[in-house]
Amino acid sequence: LRGAGGFGQEPRGDTTEGALGEAEGRGPGQGVAELWRGDSCGGRGEGSAEDGGHCPCPRGPAPGARAGSPGSRGGGGSTTPDYGEKRLPQALIIGVKKGGTRALLEAIRAHPDVRAVGTEPHFFDRNYEKGLEWYRNVMPKTLDGQITMEKTPSYFVTNEAPRRIHSMAKDTKLIVVVRNPVTRAISDYTQTLSKKPEIPTFEVLAFKNRTLGLIDASWSAIRIGIYALHLENWLQYFPLSQILFVSGERLITDPAGEMAKVQDFLGLKRIVTEKHFYFNKTKGFPCLKKPEDSSAPRCLGKSKGRTHPKIDPDVIHRLRKFYKPFNVMFYQMTGQDFQWEQEESDK
């Protein structure tokens, strides 16, 4: 589980490949609550889960927002705050933590028709009481035809976020970066460990009872990866057509391919292409560059791409079994197979 993250984003495990057979007995979106309330954190049966005022919709690029225009990120590569106006975002990167959201944000910001906040505003989870005008003022200025964006990965797991975002603008486009939940949990722990080296081991935190093999799904590092559970909340307010799921694994192996999907989803011309990426063999992940630049590619900071601690293989196995039914349900709900189970079947 030693690996590197997209553009220096986070440690990654090996990219998983393969196909998932159709899960039995459930239609898309059915049974998440039942699975969650059932044996997923309880019994130890064979194969049970525990063992294991807003802007319109984003528009296409406008001539005035092309590379080199005032206030654009294109051309000279600088922003001019005297042009344009501050608008509420039309698109949000809502999750997930340690999935590759920073890598995605930096890549999409290379597009001349996108302006995004560099820091995480945390409006819909921590700062909502400050009001929409506060939120609008956090945003960069944009010209007509440019899209305003922000990313706060904790939105995806915040119960109130879907309702609050829908209240702001029901046509908001949402982007979720997901990765293998086992690798994501270990990456999450690794980040915390770097700040608090005195915390217990991953193995201790992951279990309610190690002897019985009971996974502690109340630990945020574990719970965030139960994607189907969180997605149900979002689907009460937004249709699936307004949510794009980006593979954190493919964001490393094929960043241009994933960015093509993102640009299509946002109604943008495909300007961020393979010319924007350079694979750094030393770091083990792609770095971002501007195709017209001769300068060295820009990778994210040293805090990204930390080496994972060695985790007991039995713990990895139990976590995979715990997540598998939730992963299958997530595939059904989204209509996408992220192939996270292939890693287990290859062994």
Enzyme catalytic residues: 98
Question: Which residues are part of a known binding site for 3'-phosphoadenylyl sulfate?
Answer: 98-102, 179, 187, 304-308
Could you identify the residue written with the tokens 């997923």? Answer: 40
> Is residue 62 a contact partner of residue 141, using CB atoms and an 8 Å limit?
no
Question: Which residues are part of a known binding site?
Answer: 98-102, 179, 187, 304-308
